[in-house]
Chain A
Amino acid sequence: MTLISTLIGTLVFAVLAPVLGCLLAGLDRIVSARMQGRVGPPVLQPYYDVRKLLEKEDASVNSVEKTYIICALAFALISGGIFFSGGNLLLCVFMITLSSLFFIVAAYSSRSPYAEIGAHRETLQVMAYEPMVLLFAIAFFVAVGSFDTAAVLNLREPAIASIWLVFLGLLYVLTIKLRKSPFDLSMSHHAHQEIVRGITTEMSGPTLALVEITHWVENVLFLGWIGLFFVWGNPLSIVLALAVMVVVYFLEVFIDNNFARVKWQLMLKSAWIVALVCGTINLAILVF
């Protein structure tokens, strides 16, 4: 049963998430431009970018990079499929980590000095956000009584009521996961604060297009995690969740445009301290 629903979920997600993610990225760029006093590109600009990249010549520094990137995209899609079909949240977290690993290994495989620096930093970022993400899944289980995301539909009140501290912690590491400044150490969307192009330096043409799509998909999934806090038995709550997702994304764009990149030390320390404080206190309150 779970197998079939996961399969269907993955297929639906594979169709819808890139569309939503693309629109989201377009909005992001317009909002960013307005914050900087510019007009900004059309809302479909990310779509044009990816189509252009797909049209470019297919060239690569080695024979494996693209394979790794395809794996990264595939596992991101599976992860989203598991999440939105009401599957196991922990499995979803593990799968998205697998996706990041393939992305990292793709960069490492090029042996380009710049891409390798990006890969090191990406590894560090995963280490920084992983505790909070795991604690989020655990706190969700304690609050809801199941790892299955579908279980929220049986709740009397949203999970946020009991795990709001974890929500704040997740919000903090979300900036890392969405690759937003000040925590966009491995790959910035803004060329001015990047060493060449960080982790994606050697990825070009169609491969880069796949990377972009992976990011769209990831963004949709991560916002789904945020929305999960606000859904309960009442069907109208989904509207509330969507509204919160929009607000959170706006907040992330705002942060992105107002902070310069920090050093890795600050990122690692602050993310771990946030995880330790938010995660431990909230879990302790729930358990005792």
Chain B
Amino acid sequence: MAFASKSPWVIHYDASSCNGCDIEVLATLCPGFDGERFGVINTGNPKHADIFLVTGSVNERNISVIKEIYDQMLEPKVVVACGICACSGGIFHDCYNVIGGVDKAIPVDVYAPGCAVRPEAIIDAIVEGVAVLDQKSKALKEQKKGAK
């Protein structure tokens, strides 16, 4: 098991969420649910983070921002779409400037639907994401060995 799974640091980005999911993301890290039990820390900096939590749908204005933040995260990294808007566009899917879910901009590893998404669901998604992180971490190690 890679250490990546024991210390999943997250960064949270609000794409165009109504703030419902954002509140739940923060609640996940608060005493009631205490994400830090699993080593989860909200970093606020893509360069430190392993898991990218996106809430809200992708639109013309924020698609470049999502891409840039994703690019600045270092491998291995995992994207979790939090809430139905992030998964598919939700009730905003046919708005004039909405492109759709986060997967229209960057590859998404875990989908956590809900309106708003429950903290339990977010924790579940992160745990799910940690497994993906683990795989990617191993793949990276193999690659490093191969390079040598």
A and B touch in the complex (CB under 8 A): yes
Task: Determine whether B19 belongs to the interface, using a CB cutoff of 8 Å to chain A.
Answer: no
Asked if A191 and B44 sit within 8 Å, CB to CB, the answer is yes
Quick one: given A196-B45, A202-B47, are A41 and B37 in contact (CB under 8 Å)?
A: yes
Contact B50 A38 (CB under 8 A): no
Q: Is A205 a contact of B74 with CB atoms below 8 Å? A: yes
In the complex the two chains form, is A196's CB within 8 Å of B74's CB? no
B141 pairs with A55, CB closer than 8 A:
yes
* A55/B4 in contact, CB under 8 A: yes
Other contacts beyond A48-B7, A55-B137, A55-B141: 12, CB < 8 A: A33-B34, A40-B34, A41-B37, A49-B39, A52-B4, A52-B50, A55-B3, A56-B74, A57-B76, A197-B44, A204-B74, A205-B74
Contacts of A29 in B (CB 8 A): 36
User: Given A48-B3, A48-B39, A191-B42: A39 and B34 within 8 A (CB)?
Assistant: yes
Residues of A near B61 (CB, < 8 A) are none
Contacts of B101-132 to chain A: CB distance below 8 A: none
Interface membership of A201, Cβ < 8 A = yes
- With beta carbons under 8 angstroms apart, the residue of B36, B41, B76 that contacts A56 is B76
Most buried by A among B9, B41, B43, B76: B41
Question: Could you tell me the distance between the alpha carbons of A203 and B38 in the complex, rounded to whole angstroms?
Answer: 23
- Check if B44 sits within 8 Å of A196, measured CB to CB: yes
Q: Which residues from A are CB-within-8-Å of B7?
A: 45, 48-49, 51-52
Q: In B6-48, which residues have CB < 8 Å from any A CB?
A: 6-7, 9, 31, 34, 36-39, 41-45, 47-48
Whether a CB of chain B sits under 8 angstroms from the CB of A235 is: no
Q: By the criterion CB–CB under 8 Å, are B39 and A197 in contact?
A: no
Residues of A within 8 A of B41 (CB): 191
User: B140 in the interface, Cβ–Cβ < 8 Å?
Assistant: yes
| Partner of A57 from B3, B9, B140 at Cβ < 8 Å | B140
Asked whether A36 and B31 contact (CB < 8 A) given A197-B45, A201-B47, the answer is yes
A194 near B: Cβ within 8 Å? Answer: yes
Alpha-carbon distance between A204 and B50 when the two chains are bound, in angstroms: 11
- Given A39-B37, A41-B39, A57-B75, check contact A52 B44 (CB 8 Å): no
Kindly state the separation between the CA atoms of A33 and B34 in the bound complex, as whole angstroms: 9
Most buried by A among B9, B39, B140: B39
CB pair A204–B4 under 8 Å, yes or no, is no
- Measured between alpha carbons, how far is A100 from B47 in the docked complex, in Å? 22
A32 nearest CB neighbor, chain B only? B36
Closest A residue to B5 by beta carbon equals A52
Residue of A nearest to B46 (CB): A204
- Asked if B2 is at the interface (CB within 8 A of a chain A CB), the reply is yes
Interface residues of A in 204-225 (CB under 8 A from B): 204-205, 208
What is the distance, in angstroms, from A195's C-beta to the closest C-beta of chain B?
A: 9
Q: Is the CB of B36 within 8 A of A33?
A: yes
| Residues on the B chain within 8 Å of A202, using CB | 47
B39 contacts across to A, CB distance below 8 A:
41-42, 45, 48-49
Q: Is the CB of A204 within 8 A of B48?
A: yes
What string of 1s and 0s marks CB contacts (under 8 Å) between A175-206 and chain B?
Answer: 00000000000000001101011001111110
